[in-house]
Amino acid sequence: MKPDPHASHLIHSQELRRLVALAQDQPLPALRVDTGRLHKAVAAARQTRNRRFMAIGGLALAAGLAGLALVNLDTSGRSQTTSPQGHVAQDMSPEPAAGRALARGVHVAQGEDTPSPTVLGAWEVGLAPGRYEVVVDPHPGPELLLARAAGGTVELHHGRVEIVVAASSAHASLREGVATWIAPDGARTPLTTKPGATAANTDPEPAAASTTDETVRGLARRAEALLTAGQRDAAIAVFTRITTVYADEPAARGALLDLAPLLKAAGRLDEARCAYLLYLDRYPGKAQLADDVRKALTRLGDGPACDGLRPR
């Protein structure tokens, strides 16, 4: 790949640009590796690997035999645990059914005259009509809390959500963190914090640049971890937050480019189209990727107009 002259625009320092150019222009030395030498090296590497596998296999076999001998010794003293076939009966029964409890770091508080939430699992609660505050502490894993209520479900990765549940509907307000509203038909809407919400309940956005940077960095890391864990929807929620709440941060551009294909892969084609259109709208000067984005838009075809990330 030939170094792209546009890449120098990434660098703000002239001195660093000069050093980068020197590194790029370094002449390639004469290469001594040829195919003959390479094939010999590959064959030697294979032999070494095979020997290693054989050694490991031998060790495993020895360990297995030793284990079998121990089992025989053990069963000789406790014949009641041996099955009719002579195999040792293993206790494969599940863990004793403990009372269901929420995972550590998950807290659900109900308002006055509101029934307690029903714990459906470590990461799942059912909410009856009333007022609730749901908090999930930041955690490195991909787990998502599902708070199920009449009219929809809140999926919360971390943060705090206030949920008001009525007989056949519910309203969720994200105070901080990353969450998604899932309608009964499966439609997903990322929740965003509303600056206009009650001041007492609204956490201020980080003001200092360094704090903001740390937050964006943390979100980017979390999104990466979620993607690695195969948690696409949760990653979408995090990228959506980066692109909406931290729209002026440099990382928002990359997040938008990550978000669009993820939305497409999730079958949310109109939202994917909106993400690409938002990219072109926000970053008109970034010609290097604009062609790729336009091609992606063409592949998605036509659709409704967009209001930011949302199709109208």
Does the protein bind other proteins through residue 221 (CB under 8 A)? yes
Does the protein bind other proteins through residue 10 (CB under 8 A)? yes
Q: Which stretch binds other proteins (CB under 8 A): 51-59, 117-125, 130-138, 254-262?
A: 254-262
Through-space distance between the first and last CA atoms of the chain, rounded to whole angstroms: 41
Decide: 132 and 114 in contact? Cβ < 8 Å: yes
Does the protein bind other proteins through residue 199 (CB under 8 A)? no
Does the protein bind other proteins through residue 248 (CB under 8 A)? no
Does the protein bind other proteins through residue 223 (CB under 8 A)? yes
Does the protein bind other proteins through residue 5 (CB under 8 A)? yes
**Cβ 5 to other proteins shortest distance, Å:** 8
- List of residues 6+ apart from 296 with CB closer than 8 A: 260, 261, 264, 276
Q: Which stretch binds other proteins (CB under 8 A): 24-32, 100-108, 113-121, 165-173?
A: 24-32
Q: Which of residues 282-301 bind other proteins (CB under 8 A)?
A: 288-289, 292
Does the protein bind other proteins through residue 13 (CB under 8 A)? yes
Q: Collapsing DSSP states into helix, strand and coil, what is residue 200?
A: helix
CA dihedral 235→228→148→127, nearest 10 degrees, is -100
Of the pair 52, 171, the CB lying nearest other proteins is at 52
The three-state (H, E, C) secondary structure of 63-100, written as one string: HHHHHHHHHHHHHHHCHHHECCCCCECCCCCCCCCCCC
Does the protein bind other proteins through residue 129 (CB under 8 A)? no
Number of residues lying near other proteins (CB under 8 A) = 57
Looking at beta carbons, which pairs linking 264-267 to residues 24 or more positions away fall under 8 Å?
Answer: 264/296, 264/300, 265/232, 266/232, 266/233, 266/236
Does the protein bind other proteins through residue 28 (CB under 8 A)? yes
Candidate list 205, 214, 224, 281; residue touching other proteins; CB under 8 A: 224
Does the protein bind other proteins through residue 167 (CB under 8 A)? no
Q: Collapsing DSSP states into helix, strand and coil, what is residue 158?
A: strand
Give me the half-sphere count of Cα atoms (radius 13 Å) on the Cβ side of residue 280. Answer: 14
Quote the strand ranges of 80-234, DSSP E.
106-110, 118-121, 124-126, 130-136, 145-149, 152-165, 170-182, 188-191
Q: Which stretch binds other proteins (CB under 8 A): 12-20, 53-61, 111-119, 263-271?
A: 12-20
Applying CB under 8 A, the residues found at the interface with other proteins are 1-8, 10-16, 18-20, 22-24, 26-29, 31-33, 35, 37-39, 41-42, 45-46, 49, 216-217, 220-221, 223-224, 227, 239, 242, 250-255, 257-258, 288-289, 292
